[in-house]
Structure 1
Amino acid sequence: MHLIGKGRLSMDRSTTETHLSIMDLPLILTQLFERAQQPLLPDVQGPLGLFVRYLRRKPGRGLAVIYTVDAITTAHKARVNDPNRAVSLTLDEQALHGAQIIFTAQQTHQASLAVEPTGVLHIADLGIAVQKFPADASLSALAASCDTTLQSQLFPMLQTAAQTQLQDEAWQLTSADAEPVRYKPASRCVIRYRLSLQHPMTGEQKTLTIFGKVYAAAEQAQRVQLLQQRLHEEQTQMGVLPLLPRPLAILPSLGLTFNEAIQPSANPVTNDQWDTLRTGVRALQPQLERGRGGSVTRILLPEEELRLTGQALARLHSSTVMSKDAPRTGAKEAKRAKERAALIASRNPTQAEKVQTLSQQLATRLEASQPDNYRPAHGGFKASQLLFHSHQVFVVDFDGFCLADSALDVGYFLAYLRPSGLWYHQQGMRQWFEQAAEIFRASYREAMHEKGVASETLDAIMERSRLYEGALIFKIATRRVNRLNSPRPQELSAMLEEITTCLA
């Protein structure tokens, strides 16, 4: 009846007396909705399937799985990835032993099921919570952040945000639609709002798109929005195009922020790729030309995009906007690297010794690393946080904004710039990465030097950035563990070789 991942899952075997596995969870989820007498997807006739869209198991934070509900007959390519069809299941840490579930199906049948006012189905004794979007026990403002009806508390704030962007308080909001675009259960959700407005003086009508982001912690929303406003104002006063979208408003009661959308050209003049809005992941993908037999004849580099990225990072690192939190030190990154290495070693016993040895070497050097000073830093600077349009780069997602060694952001970007083909020694991947990394480094150095940073300081930043690269490669390596994927020794070996190179 149910699907998990890419294949069909048969639920014929009895799970009544044995402990459950991850593969049994779709049946348990469905049975809970049946007990609550709630349909999974009222508008679809026939058998339904549950298709995994997100799965994470993080130590101390339990297991989270998001399924898309769709007709079981729907072809894979036609299957929707709509958060409004998302159903999530979370298991508390108490319900798990490593990756194993410690309760049985019989226990789920017998345990008391509570239906919370938010719509969350909860078995407290077993640490199970099941919720259909937009219900979220830990992100309680999500449903209200998607309610665009005229009577909602969201509607007037959307109008205020639109008036701020249009710089005219006369514009009236006539209707709005909410489209969730990135959702992390219990944490945050990015929502695209499509607005229809009318000007009462002229009768003119206009459509507008803005983005909202709702946080589980309202104080985080306020902190992040204030920092973004200060960054945006600082750069506007400098007479340059700000490197981040304009913050528009905040609804504190919901922990919901609003920001301007970076819009592609409505009527592009040419077929130039810069006329379209591109994410950093798309813009910084390796491109190779191949000849006969598949041999690489030419490596195509996104030179302008890499130069713009280096310049943008230098602008951020030279900002006067400071976080009030304690600096994110090398010692903190060393601790995280050792924790990630321990997790990787537990799942890869044949490579555990090398993993632990490298993590200890890396941690020792990170703990001893000292920058000349701590500067404003993005804290998660990678391709997925970049948008390219009109020969400009825009940086988004400042949730991790902090004071840190500038080498952190440089190392973060370069660790994630590595194409996945590098872990499998695919032809051309090494050359592409090394040449792309050099363009980024050179652009960053030049921009920082123009801002008065001494060459000796830049040399030290680049040297320390190699340590942060290594630490972040450990983070990349934990993805397979957190997603409960099977170990891939070849992939891990390539990552460990890369960390060894960073330490050399």
Structure 2
Amino acid sequence: MADDTELFIRYVHRKPERGLTVICAAGAPRERAAQGSARPAPPRWITISIDEGALEGARIRLSAQDIQQVRPEGAVAGCVATPSLGFAVQDFPSDRRLSSLGASLSTDLQDPLIGQLELAARACLLDPAWHIRRARAEPVRYKPGSRCVIRYELGLEKRSVNGVFRRELSIFGKVHGDPQRALAIHAAAEQLYAAHRHDGSHPIIPRPLGVAETLGLTLSEAISSDTPEEAPRTGLEVLRPRLRRGVDEPVVRLDIPAGELCAVALALAGLHTSGVSLPGPPRTAAKEALRAAERAALIATHCPLVADSARRLARELASRLHALRPEAYAPAHGGFKPSQLLFLGERVFIVDLDGLCRADPALDVGYFLAYLRPSGLWYRRPAMRGWFAGAAATFLTAYRQAIIRRGIDDSTSYGIRKRARLYEAATLFKIAARRAHRLNSPRPAELEAILGEIRACMHDAH
């Protein structure tokens, strides 16, 4: 950079036909804020994008000289691109495909965004008297060209005959590349939230608070507690093996979070039986078959040692997925995994609705089970197999009981469980392909272990 600022690589990702994306943090490495201290300043992110045509395996065809010889284009402030080379650099929040990102992070009290945030705060607190006296936006998670999650910290004030009252409030926003998609997600979230409020059950998603249509920005409540001992926990924290030794137990065992797994199963059953109306065609097993074949091809290129096995399994899986005939398509999450969950006490919330669709409920069940596997399973670490088997059985039993209580017959429940094994196998191909996406070394033993899990899923689905 011109001012000799250091860059620290934070994210490297490659997808077939989409090229390579690298996100760097500019300046000194960002440290986690100490508890009770002020949050650090938002990071400065530099994004480098390289088109698929400029890549050859794990190598980049471009040289520094190539880039210097071509005149760059800068149609958007903070973005520099050389389309002829398939190379672009963006200085966050500038983003050619997420043009409203800068405006969604601007919290000057005169900005139009403040009005939307004020409406959201009033909806959250059920009180139209509150006004924003200050606001701060912090990017939390960013996927270049696609979406960005933002935490808004609001200082609120209201006046009454009893005096002036002030309070703090956090809400979350997500900027989407397609404003129409943002509207559709918000409409579905409102339906889902209202459905659970109507039947007296706990909502399974954070309360939707509004949508800024021109920005493609959806707003929702932040899941929080007034009790420090009951701080929110992520699904990745909760749904993993934990060493536990009981009183007078000489052997350390891996504890299964049975209560949390049952809560997840209950929430998923609530989504599948919610009756929420979602537009568009269903997400079919044929689509999952196509994706599995694409991922197997990527794995074969990345690691020739497992190429034949990966392709053969993908062909058999595709044939069986194409033959699936679900009883009905239902509201589905489309990417249901531990990282999409937030726990508060005994309650669980689904916090990412980008992939909402109509699909076979078995898709979500299989997706979740694939990601429930601990990474230690790929390295054959002791007790991991037993932990996963116990955790999966706990989840499946709770899910079956929950959907039967909601009027789904036992035969349909059995069919979902059987088909879920094939969707689980397809999702395991995705997990295996992540090694190539992130430019890791081939690790054939790890890939063989994942392919072994795929074989087991397909065998159990017979």
Do these two structures clear the TM 0.5 threshold for a shared fold by scoring above it?
Answer: yes
One-letter identity of the residue aligned with 2:187 = L
Q: Is the 8 A contact 2:30 2:43 kept in 1?
A: no
**Partner Cα separation in structure 2 for residue 58 and residue 385 of structure 1:** 21
**Residue 59 of structure 1: CA displacement?**
1.3
Say whether 1:267 aligns with 2:222: no
Taking structure 1 as reference, are residues 426 and 466 closer, same or farther at Cα in structure 2, changes over 3 Å only? same
Confirm whether residue 246 of structure 1 aligns to residue 207 of structure 2: yes
The separation in 2 between residues aligned to 1:475 and 1:223, in whole angstroms, is 26
Tell me if 1:65 matches 2:22: yes
The answer for the alignment partner of 2:287 in structure 1 is 332
What aligned pairs does 1:21-100 form with structure 2 within 5 A after superposition? Answer: 30=1, 34=2, 39=3, 48-71=5-28, 84-100=43-59
In 2 relative to 1, CA 392–77 (structure 1 residues): closer, same or farther, beyond 3 Å? closer
Provide TM-score, normalisation by structure 2: 0.93
Structure-1 separation of matches of 2:103 and 2:30: 33
Consecutive unaligned residues in structure 1, runs of 5 or more: 1-29, 40-46
CA distance in 2, matches of 1:470, 1:113: 44
Give the alignment partner of residue 489 of structure 1, picking from 428, 444, 449. Answer: 444
Aligned length: 449
Residues 462 and 92 from structure 1, CA distance in 2 versus in 1: closer, same or farther, beyond 3 angstroms? same
**Match among 165, 172, 177 for residue 204 of structure 1:** 165
Q: Aligned equivalents of 1:437 and 1:211: distance in 2?
A: 32
Match of 2:189 in 1: 228
- Is it true that 1:469 corresponds to 2:424 in the alignment? yes
Name the amino acid aligned to 2:70.
Answer: A
In the alignment, the residues of structure 2 paired with residue 290 and residue 501 of structure 1 have an alpha-carbon distance, to the nearest angstrom, of 31
CA distance in 2, matches of 1:243, 1:469: 23
Q: Distance in 2 between matches of 1:82 and 1:193?
A: 14
Q: Which of 145, 148, 155 is 1:189 aligned to?
A: 148
Residue in 1 that maps onto 2:454: 499
Cα deviation 1:275-296 (Å, max 9, x = unaligned): 12100010111112479xxx96
SS state at 1:155 partner: helix
Deviation at 1:75, TM superposition (A): 9.7
Amino acid at match of 1:137: R
CA distance in 2, matches of 1:82, 1:57: 29
| 1:375 to 2:334 alignment | no
Q: Work out whether residues 296 and 428 of structure 1, in 8 Å CA contact, stay in contact via their aligned partners in 2.
A: no
Residues 207 and 409 (structure 1), Cα distance of their counterparts in 2 relative to 1, 3 Å cut: same
- Backbone CA RMSD of aligned residues: 1.9
Going from structure 1 to structure 2, the CA distance change for 1:297 and 1:59 (only over 3 Å counts) comes to same
In the alignment, residue 67 of structure 1 is paired with which amino acid?
A: C
Q: 1:448 is matched with which residue?
A: 403
- 1:235 is paired with a residue whose SS is helix
Contact 1:198 1:204 in 2 (8 A): yes
Which residue of 1 is the match for residue 36 of structure 2? Answer: none
* Residue 300 of structure 2: aligned partner: 345
TM-score (norm 1): 0.86
Query: SS of the counterpart of 1:203?
Result: strand
**1:420 corresponds to which residue?**
375
Deviations along 1:342-376, one digit per CA (max 9) or x if unpaired, are 11111111110000111111111111011111111
Distance in 2 (CA, whole Å) between partners of 1:336 and 1:86 is 31
Q: 2:238 aligns with which of 257, 276, 283?
A: 283
Structure 2 residue runs without a partner (length 5+): 34-38
Q: Give the letter for the 2:238 counterpart.
A: A
What CA distance in whole angstroms lies between the structure 2 residues aligned with 1:159 and 1:412? 37
Task: Give the corresponding residue for 1:394.
Answer: 349
Say whether the 8 Å CA contact 1:175–1:197 is kept in structure 2.
yes
User: What is the CA–CA distance in structure 2 between the aligned matches of 1:238 and 1:372, rounded to whole Å?
Assistant: 25
**8 A Cα contact 1:118 1:140, kept in partner:** no
CA distance in 2, matches of 1:482, 1:143: 28
For 1:123 and 1:374, how far apart are their aligned partners in 2? 44
Letter in 1 for 2:195: E
SS in 2 for 1:398: coil
C-alpha separation in 1, matches of 2:76 and 2:431: 38
Following superposition, the deviation at residue 95 of structure 1 comes to 2.3
Are the counterparts in 1 of residues 79 and 96 from structure 2 also a CA contact under 8 Å?
A: yes
2:346 maps to 1:385: no
User: Paired residue for 1:102, among 49, 61, 67?
Assistant: 61
2: CA distance between counterparts of 1:345 and 1:81? 43
8 Å contact kept, 2:76–2:96: no
Which amino acid counterpart does residue 196 of structure 1 have in structure 2? Answer: G
Tell me, yes or no, if the aligned pair for 2:337 and 2:372 is still in contact at 8 Å.
yes
Q: Which amino acid aligns with 1:249?
A: G
Write the distance in 1 (CA, Å) between the matches of 2:251 and 2:354: 40
Residues 482, 296 of structure 1: CA spacing in aligned structure 2 closer, same or farther, 3 A cutoff?
Answer: farther
Answer yes or no: is the 8 Å Cα contact 1:322–1:402 preserved in 2: no
Cα distance in 1 between the residues matched to 2:42 and 2:23: 9
Q: Percent identity?
A: 48
Q: After the TM superposition, which of the residue ranges 487-496 and 315-324 deviates more from structure 2?
A: 315-324
Deviation at 1:82, TM superposition (A): 7.2
Query: In structure 1, how many angstroms separate the alpha carbons of the residues matched to 2:72 and 2:266?
Result: 55
Structure 2 match to 1:403? 358
- The 3 A distance-change label for structure 1 pair 327 and 117 is closer
Shift of 1:76: 8.8
The DSSP-based 3-state class of the residue aligned with 1:115 is coil
SS of residue paired to 1:205: strand
How far apart are 1:93 and its partner, in Å? 2.7
Deviation readout 1:249-276 (Å, 9 max, x if unpaired)? 111111011001111x2234xx5xxx12
Superposed displacement of residue 57, structure 1:
1.3
Q: Is the 8 A contact 1:83 1:183 kept in 2?
A: no
- AA at the equivalent of 2:282: P
Return the alpha-carbon distance in structure 2 between the equivalents of residues 136 and 165 of structure 1. 30
Listed one character per residue, the Cα deviations across residues 124-179 of structure 1 (whole Å, up to 9, x for unaligned) are 32122111111111111111110000121211111111111111111110010001
Do 2:185 and 2:354's aligned partners in 1 also have CA atoms closer than 8 Å?
yes
